[in-house]
Amino acid sequence: RAEGAGADETLRARLDTYAPLQGHYYAHPPQFERGWREMLIDTEGRHYLDMVNNVTALGHGHPVLADAVAQQWRMLNTNSRFNYASVAELSARLLETLPDGFDTVLLVNSGTEAVDLALRLTKAFTGRDDVACVEESYHGWSYAADAVSTSTSDNPLAAELRAPWVHAFDAPNAYRGTHRGEDAGQRYAADAVAELERLAAAGTPVGTFIAEPRNGNAGAIEVPTAYLSAVYEAVRAGGGVVISDEVQVGYGRQGDVFWGFEQHAGPGGEPIVPDVVTVAKAMGNGHPLGAVITRSEIAQALADQGTFFSSAGGSTLSARLGVTVLDIMRDDRLQENAREVGGYLREQLLGLAERQPLIGAIHGRGLYQGIELVRDRETLEPAAAETLALCDRMLAIGIVVQPTGDRGNVLKVKPPLCFTKESADTFVAALDEVLTRGL
Ligand code: PMP
């Protein structure tokens, strides 16, 4: 159907068959048919710089990955209950990236599945239904993953429809939240600990705390270190366990760390370690692949109640692909590139913020950044309409960038990890030009 059809015709065909549920980028999206590194190319042959593709982390059209996938398809792809080497290799390679104590890898097909399975595991392990999470977060679309997704940008009724077993802590945002400045982390943590105590006293003690180690959905917002270490400690002291959702911010994207939780430390500088890690997106470079990584005692608790099995999760093909993604990340030095080019991009953006008053803050690190647009740097009034208009103008000059967050005023910047300094310059110059001309 799409072959030979114009972009508008394809969009109409898509809208005719999709329920109104499923959104897409842009009112008049280009029709992409090809990708190369951090570029997308449409059916007219026009090139666009892709600033949003954190799924295709290696870059579009990676030949080594394409060859490995083609070869594996010709050899074998089958149900994950069979015995094959790549699944063992992928599990071992994932465990190598994590601290001691992690010994169990469960392969699934998406971030949502990883979060859903993680919640089943922790529920079985703790014997408790109650889950704590943070406001302005997204964790997936399944019944359980959606229940702990608090972001109103995806679901405006998230707060009204909240399940009674879900308890959302205030979003620990030191830039525009309830507590700001130096000791914001401690103050957010004190609020969260008080809420944990209240829930325990009410007979609904929290069994699981799930959070991203950087709030990706909100726009790469820093989670204060003092916050995460204190909340982890309090949840565990109360008999619960913690899940670090690394689907969006993990897997080398932040440059100086492979996993997002590694950017945090306790008060004495000691590392903080979650009980369960969920990962997807970059892990499959856009192919459906995700994982839950945990300790065997936690997995055993679910095994005591039943089984877990996914036909295609970690199939012969997916596992081979997962190993190849890790090989390419190592061989192309993509985490190092995220650190280096991400650092360069951040510097350029901070320079731009000095010239452009609409930019209120640059969040994030490595190749996971958020450009927050505000009408007034004192009141922090969100410049949501301007952010949308900016994205349309950027598209017109060949740059794909999108708003995120509950206020729709943060540009998410998460290009493929092969991003170059030249592309960073192109992006910053384009932003400068559009902002200077006015929105
Ligand atoms: N967790 C986080 C933090 C995410 O950002 C997402 C997807 N945006 C998910 C889970 C769900 O992943 P998927 O879309 O692969 O189901």
Same domain, 98 and 233: yes
- Structure confidence at residue 129 (pLDDT): 97
Place of tokens 């114009």: 6
Quickly state the pLDDT bin for 113 (edges 50, 70, 90): very high
Give the Cα separation of 300 and 44 in Å (integer): 54
pLDDT of residue 154: 78
What is the overall mean pLDDT for the chain?
96
Residue 384 resides in a domain: yes
Pocket of ligand 1 (CB under 6 A): 110-112, 115, 138-140, 212, 216-217, 245, 247-248, 280-281
Residue 320 CA to residue 265 CA, distance in Å, equals 34
Report, in this order, helix, strand and coil percent for the chain, each rounded to 5: 40, 15, 45
Cα of 146 vs centre of ligand 1, distance in Å, is 10
Residue 181 reports pLDDT greater than 70 = yes
Determine, yes or no, domain membership for 283.
yes
* Other C-beta atoms lying within 10 Å of the C-beta of residue 17: 8
In a shared domain, residues 190 and 279: yes
**Last residue of a domain, which of 310, 331, 352?**
331
Q: What is the pLDDT of residues 339-361, one digit of tens each?
A: 999 999 999 999 999 999 999 99
Provide the residue range defining the domain that includes 149: 63-331
Q: Is residue 2 part of a domain?
A: no
Indicate if 46 and 185 belong to the same structural domain.
no
Same domain, 286 and 145: yes
Whether 309 and 345 share a structural domain: no
| Positive or negative: CA dihedral 91, 206, 152, 8 | positive
Q: Whose CA is nearest to atom 5 of ligand 1?
A: 248
Distance in angstroms (rounded) separating the CA atoms of residues 156 and 304 = 38
Domain count, the chain: 2
356 CA from centroid of ligand 1 (Å): 32
Distance CA(217)–CA(205), nearest Å, equals 27
pLDDT tens by residue, 232-260: 999 999 999 999 999 999 999 999 999 99
pLDDT, residue 27, reads 82
Check whether residue 287 and residue 300 sit in a common domain. Answer: yes
Residue 1 located in a structural domain: no
Residue 3 pLDDT more than 60? no
Residues 207 and 286 in one domain: yes
219: left (phi over 0), alpha (psi -120 to 50) or beta: left
Domain boundary among 282, 314, 331: 331
Q: Give the domain-ending residue among 295, 316, 331.
A: 331
Q: Is the complex ipTM more than 0.95? A: yes
Q: How far is the CA of 133 from the centre of ligand 1 (A)?
A: 15
Residue 417 DSSP one-character state: T
Q: Of 115, 210, 287, 318, which is best to mutate to test ligand 1, by the most ligand atoms within 8 angstroms of its C-beta?
A: 115
Q: What is the pLDDT of residues 68-105, one digit of tens each?
A: 999 999 999 998 888 999 999 999 999 999 999 999 99
Q: Which DSSP string corresponds to 152-170?
A: TTT-TTTTTT--TTEEEEP
pLDDT at 43 over 70: yes
The rounded Å distance from CA 279 to ligand 1 centre is: 9
- Alpha-carbon distance of 226 to 215, in angstroms, equals 15
Tell me, yes or no, whether 121 and 170 share the same domain.
yes
Q: In the predicted model, what is the mean pLDDT of residues 163-169?
A: 98
pLDDT classification of 2: cutoffs 50, 70, 90 = very low
Task: Please indicate, yes or no, whether residues 153 and 113 belong to a single structural domain of this protein.
Answer: yes
**Cα of 427 vs its chain's centroid, Å:** 22
Ligand 1 centroid to Cα of residue 139, in Å, is 5
Instruction: Work out which ligand 1 atom sits closest to the CA atom of 288.
Output: 15
